[in-house]
Amino acid sequence: MSKLEELEGFFSPKVVGFYGVSNVMQKFGTLHLTNLLSAGYQGKVIPIHPKEEEIIGFKAYQNIKEVPEKVDLVVIATPTEYINDILEECGQKGVSHAIVLSGGFLEVGNEKGQERMKTIADTYGMKIMGPNCSGEVVTPDINITHVPWPPREGGAAIISQSGTYAVQPLIAISSKIGLGISKIISVGNEVNTDLVDYLEAMEEDQKTTTIGIYFEAVRRGKEFIEAVERINKKKPIVIIPIGQTEAGTRSAKSHTAAITSPGFIIDSICEQTGAIKVKNSIEMLNLLNGFDSLPLPKGNRVGILTMGGGPGTLMSDLFESNGMKVPILSNKMQEKLKPWMPETASTMNPIDLTYSDDMQNYLNVLPDLLLKSDEIDSLIIYGLMGSEYHKNLVNVPESIKENPSIVTMRNFGEMMHDFFIAIFDELIKYKQKYDKPIILTCYNTREERFVAYLQDHGIPVYYPEEGVWALIRMWQYAHFLKEKGIK
Amino acid sequence: MSKLEELEGFFSPKVVGFYGVSNVMQKFGTLHLTNLLSAGYQGKVIPIHPKEEEIIGFKAYQNIKEVPEKVDLVVIATPTEYINDILEECGQKGVSHAIVLSGGFLEVGNEKGQERMKTIADTYGMKIMGPNCSGEVVTPDINITHVPWPPREGGAAIISQSGTYAVQPLIAISSKIGLGISKIISVGNEVNTDLVDYLEAMEEDQKTTTIGIYFEAVRRGKEFIEAVERINKKKPIVIIPIGQTEAGTRSAKSHTAAITSPGFIIDSICEQTGAIKVKNSIEMLNLLNGFDSLPLPKGNRVGILTMGGGPGTLMSDLFESNGMKVPILSNKMQEKLKPWMPETASTMNPIDLTYSDDMQNYLNVLPDLLLKSDEIDSLIIYGLMGSEYHKNLVNVPESIKENPSIVTMRNFGEMMHDFFIAIFDELIKYKQKYDKPIILTCYNTREERFVAYLQDHGIPVYYPEEGVWALIRMWQYAHFLKEKGIK
């Protein structure tokens, strides 16, 4: 059986039993149940509760033995003391997979409890995610976490040894940057499935193109390194190590029940395997987004197309001080660009239009010319005309609110909508056409619907600094593969 | 006359004339006019236009000479060729201040045009902001930029040599983090008012508590250093240098018409003056927000109160690897905390509750105990119960949508609103009561109204990493003042 098949019960359960749910508001378990329902889950959910006959409208059973059908997965959020007995019952019933959200085991020194859990699991051949974990997301329709907004479907898998990072921050940021997620897995205390297992499952998973890891402790060091080295050649791996200083280690130790590996181990693993170490969630998720949605850069030459000198300069600085080049374009190329640019613009690279309201030039004609040339390997663009820009005109003084010019301006976004979408669709095509990464940067965020459109259709939209870092690291990865003769 | 008085016409004009505005949608000048109106400006605006009799409902004049009243400030967004003649007329009319948005001068090699501008300005004693600038924001009611959402009123002044950074990114991010702004000034080509002038004006400005600078080039080096050294002792100064590598310099040169100073000059200025260099807008604005809204830390000991091990560990790591301490609390202190925490929680520091839905404990009782003690100098908190959390329950299957438990949960945020606000108000008081900085971190952002409430009432709310960096730099500043015997 392949790793993915072994763990399949977590990823496509048809019937899910819930322990620790009730009709009481805010109950941790209930939140997981309702989030699964809100995500559009099409399977069956079965609450199991010692007293209630119905829980938020679903028939409840007192004991899993009474459930007439086969249960593929149980989710357990009861107090610690009941959990092993529940697992025993589930084992007898033939449940193959369990997510144990509750803590109270190795992480608080309850070695005995965790050992018994392992024995039960092994006896019945049951796979357990956790204990002391934050659950999982399997797009498009499974969200068994306490955060109610699952991210959109896509290719990034995330495996986390930090329960907290696996959910709130990750899901919130993923949604904000439009990152497409295949799976989020919170491994918890890893009683009988661990980081390496899930990593190997994601290696096989067809939907997963790139993998992010929140790393706190290595239990099977050799297997971990081998897996990272092998998988990273096919699916880029991004790692955040957590727990490197005294207080950090103290804190990590108290909540994951594992001996924390020092940061330098991660550095050496990354050096050996080509996996990429980053410092925080935003960097990781931006980078996964780049890997999932863009082709790799084939060289280190970047074209910068900008609506303003400041961001152009800043991006240039960052690229050039981190091993990439922002080459001056050939005279021939500059001549080609000139007719499409204002007189005060600079054609050297950064290609700086200073200001333009001609989005077709800016996001189609100029990118097409630049990407088509053999003078750059990637394109980064700064500046986006927003649809929300003129809505603020509702605040003008009452006396001019209905002035025809004001009304027209207020409706600008609406009027231009279809026209802009056509421009974006064209830009998105260039990415495949020229097989070069395109990143758009601006300070608008997802609340601006044009940003959401681009993000959801495969052009990452970031703050300028963030976009630069994503591209730098994509280039470092591409360079690693080249040097090793892999690609 | 003090510097502030000299420049007062920019900051409190009663009558503003506009050149380069029309009834045509999207016109750059018109955008500035409507944004000023949308900001709630209470003075008079006067469009000046060669042909139109009325512009968006306001009587237009063909020439400024025809305007019956005194005009304090003109805003010019016409093509380059008309500008100096306009300024000449304005000088004759007795206009004392002009903002020239249009470019086409020194930054594109038009030295003559810029020299003539300087001569006109000197002849009439007129102060010019620009040319080639992005205008200004003076809270609460002046926004002469092309971005329609002015930030809230507060103590941070920003002076920018980058026109782009002065507006879109700055205003967008400020609004997102709830930064309170006193003034934003885009200096452009600095024809007769420069960075040093505005810096000295902000020194005097009662509303300004801290100053951010986007720095590209130093024209009056000695005066700049002296000003930074003197002012930084009273109002912390944060600097972003732009234009440090070859391509960066090339780009900076092409759009600001100044010789760019290498980054190491900024490093040495910061070392000498104690001003703080940061890398990007987000860091700068987060830090200004800390300086504006919080007391300075008196020592390097931080208490971390967290709802999850991951963020606790990450924050610990960052503090300890950057010169701050996350000390283990005394046994006595730990005993005091214990009754208020779940059994599985860790009291050492990070103080990790793992999970709790008791916000009163979390944001009042525990912070009060911690801040009151003499074991920590600052408090950073991770985790916030959101009001939007349960709204997603609109997506549950139709059959259970009106289930009483579901309805109750859906309304949870509303029900708890007043209760939560009372808890926040109490937390906000501790900041003054104990004269220690408090930063809240989470992955909710301003769309969550509780985040907005805290931000607008003086508790910065950041992503964990960002909050840590703001506090580290606040400590570095406090430490500098101490070492120099200033505070």
| Cβ–Cβ below 8 Å for A35 and B392 | yes
Kindly state the greatest CA–CA separation across chain B: 80
Angle among Cα B140, B146, B147 to the nearest 5 degrees reads 60
Distance CA A182, CA A158 (A): 8
Report the C-alpha gap between B261 and B61 in whole angstroms: 44
Give B-chain residues touching A444 at CB under 8 angstroms. 172
Residue B338: exposed, middle, or buried by beta-carbon count in 10 A (0-12, 13-18, 19+)?
Answer: exposed
- Torsions phi, psi of B378, nearest 5? -145, 160
Give dist(CA B149, CA B143) in Å, integer.
Answer: 8
- For residue B90, the Cα-to-chain-centroid distance in whole angstroms is 33
Token digits for B306?
């967290």
Q: State the pairing for strand pair A136-138/A142-144.
A: antiparallel
Note whether B135 and B75 are within 8 A (CB): yes
Chain B residues in contact with A165 (beta carbon < 8 A): 308, 310-311
| End-to-end Cα spacing for chain A | 30
Minimum CA–CA partner of A411 in chain B: B25
CB burial string A322-338: b at 16+ within 10 A, e below: bebbbbebeeebbebbe
From the candidates A313, A348, A466, which should be mutated to test the interface with B, based on the most B CB atoms within 10 A? Answer: A313
What does the pLDDT read at residue B259? 46
Whether pLDDT at B105 is above 90: yes
Chain A positions in Cβ-Cβ contact with residue B172 (cut-off 8 Å)? 443-445
Tokens, residue A85:
């007995």
Residues 6+ apart with CB under 8 A from A66: none
What is the Cα–Cα distance from B181 to B207, expressed in whole angstroms?
A: 9
Q: Which residues pair with B203 in a beta bridge?
A: none
Cα–Cα dist B249/A309, whole Å: 11
Closest CA to A101 of A119, A83, A113: A83
| Measured CA angle at A150 (ends A147, A153), to 5 deg | 160
Rounded to two decimals, what is the model's pTM? Answer: 0.85
Q: What is the mean pLDDT of each run of 10 residues along chain A (487 residues)?
A: 96 97 82 91 95 93 96 96 98 97 91 97 97 96 90 95 83 90 96 97 98 89 95 96 61 52 76 92 95 97 91 90 96 95 86 83 96 98 76 76 80 80 95 96 86 93 94 97 88
Cα separation, B279 vs B194, in Å, equals 23
Q: What distance lies between CA B178 and its chain's CA centroid?
A: 8
Q: Is pLDDT above 50 for B118?
A: yes
Of B34, B172, B309, Cβ closest to residue A443: B172
How is residue A239 written in tokens? 């790692």
**From B149, B399, B405, residue closest to A25, measured CB to CB:** B405
Helices (H), B17-100: 28-38, 80-93
Helix or strand (DSSP H, E) at A378: strand A378-382
Instruction: Please name which of A56, A63, A64 lies closest in space to residue A21, comparing C-alpha atoms.
Output: A56
DSSP structural state of residue B346 = B
Contacts of B413 (CB under 8 A, 6+ apart): B386, B387, B388, B389, B390, B391
Q: Which of B330, B331, B11, B55 is nearest to B143 (CA)?
A: B11
Nearest CA in chain A to B283: A465
Name the token pair of A487.
């690609």
Mean pLDDT of B237-257: 65
Q: Could you give the CA distance from residue A136 to residue A166 in angstroms, rounded to a whole number?
A: 8
> What is the side-by-side order of every strand in the sheet holding B210-215?
B142-144, B136-138, B181-186, B153-160, B210-215, B237-241, B276-277
- What per-residue confidence (pLDDT) applies to B95? 98
Angle at B334 between CA B329 and CA B339, to 5 degrees: 155
Contacts of B168 in chain A (CB under 8 A): 308, 442-443
- In chain A, which residues have their Cβ closer than 8 Å to the Cβ of B34? 393, 396, 406, 409
| Nearest CA-CA partner of B25 in A341, A416, A395, A422 | A416
Burial (CB < 10 A; 0-12, 13-18, 19+), residue A170, is buried
Q: Exposed/middle/buried for B368, CB within 10 Å: 0-12, 13-18, 19+? A: middle
**Across residues B458-468, what is the average pLDDT?**
93
Residues of chain B with Cβ-Cβ distance to A403 below 8 Å are 56-57
| Two structure tokens written together for A243 | 């727990």
Distance CA A217, CA B110 (A): 62
Distance CA A348, CA A327 (A): 8
Q: How far is CA B170 from CA A235, A442, B103, B196, in A?
A: 37, 11, 21, 20
d(CA B474, CA B468): 10
B129 contacts: CB under 8 Å, gap ≥ 6: B10, B97, B98, B99, B100, B135, B136, B185, B186, B187, B188, B193
Q: Which of A309, A325, A391 is the closest to B251 by Cβ?
A: A309
Which stretches does DSSP call E strand in B6-88? Answer: 15-19, 44-48, 54-55, 58-59, 73-76
Query: What domains can be seen in chain A, in order of their start residue?
Result: 3-290 (3.40.50.261), 295-483 (3.40.50.261)
Question: Which of A37, A186, A285, A314 is the best substitution to test chain B (most B C-beta atoms within 10 A)?
Answer: A314
Tell me the ipTM for this assembly.
0.76
- Residue B343 burial (CB count, 10 A): 9
CA distance A26 to chain B (A): 7
SS3 at position B122: helix
User: How far is residue B261 CA from its own chain's centroid?
Assistant: 24
Q: What is the pLDDT of residue B390?
A: 64
Model pLDDT, residue B257: 47
- Where is pLDDT greater, at B99 or A485? B99
- The answer to whether the Cα torsion of B18, B23, B24, B30 is positive or negative is positive
| Strands annotated E in B362-447 | 378-382, 438-441
Least confident of A226-235, A323-332, B239-248, B253-262: B253-262
